[in-house]
Amino acid sequence: MQAIRLEAERDGIELLEVQFRRSGSHGVLTLLVDKPGGVTLDECAAVNRRLGEFLDRESETDADFLKGAYFLEVNSPGLDRPLRNPRDFERVRGDSVKVAWKTPSGAGIVSVGRLANVDPNGVELETKTGERLKILFESMTKARREVKI
């Protein structure tokens, strides 16, 4: 896995997620990549080519590396991808986000606002009314960037 990460993360690309699933007689290896400012279709294609060649070389020299036939997919997370950790939130600081979270009593709340701050414990949203909400990561159930087209 580390070898795949190093190969994928050349040229400032970050590997966010790796998923392997079986589909009939072959597998599907899906990589989710991103970079600050977003990743383009051409960059996804370049990572796909580079990783395809790398995986072919590794499979020739290490029989246990990736067994059997597979398809390789390299995708970007999209504008409205889930936000899961402080690094994800840092990428969209200043943008509008939608956060579902639970109060200490267990009540579910959905808040929308400009992401004003991110720290190791949570985020601070500025709502349209100017209110500042501090939401802890541990209380979040779902978060996404608000994309309006």
Q: d(Cα 127, Cα 90) in Å, to the nearest integer?
A: 18
Pair 118, 53 in one domain: no
For 67-89, write each residue's pLDDT tens digit. Answer: 678 889 999 888 777 898 898 89
Q: d(Cα 112, Cα 127) in Å, to the nearest integer?
A: 6
Q: Is residue 22 part of a domain?
A: yes
Q: How many domains does the chain have?
A: 2
0.75 exceeded by pTM: no
CATH number where 134 lies: 2.30.30.100
Pair 48, 104 in one domain: no
The residue-averaged pLDDT of 121-147 equals 94
Domain boundary among 49, 75, 101: 75
Nearest partner of 12 among 43, 41, 42, judged by Cα: 43
Q: Is residue 80 part of a domain?
A: no
Domain boundary among 26, 50, 75: 75
Nearest partner of 103 among 82, 130, 134, judged by Cα: 134
Check: CB of residue 53 under 8 Å from CB of residue 117: no
Check: CB of residue 43 under 8 Å from CB of residue 9: no
Pair 104, 134 in one domain: yes
For 102-111, write each residue's pLDDT tens digit. Answer: 999 999 999 9
Pair 57, 90 in one domain: no
Number of other CB atoms surrounding residue 129 within 10 Å: 6
Pair 99, 52 in one domain: no
Task: Please determine, for residue 132, whether its predicted confidence score (pLDDT) is greater than 90.
Answer: yes
> 54 is in which domain, residue-wise?
2-75
CATH number where 61 lies: 3.30.300.70
Pair 135, 110 in one domain: yes
Pair 6, 70 in one domain: yes
- Quick one: what percent of the chain has pLDDT higher than 70? 95
| CA–centroid distance for 135 within its chain | 20
- Is the Cα dihedral 12, 14, 20, 24 positive or negative? negative
Listed in sequence order, the DSSP H helices in the chain are: 2-8, 41-61, 86-91
Nearest partner of 144 among 82, 66, 60, judged by Cα: 82
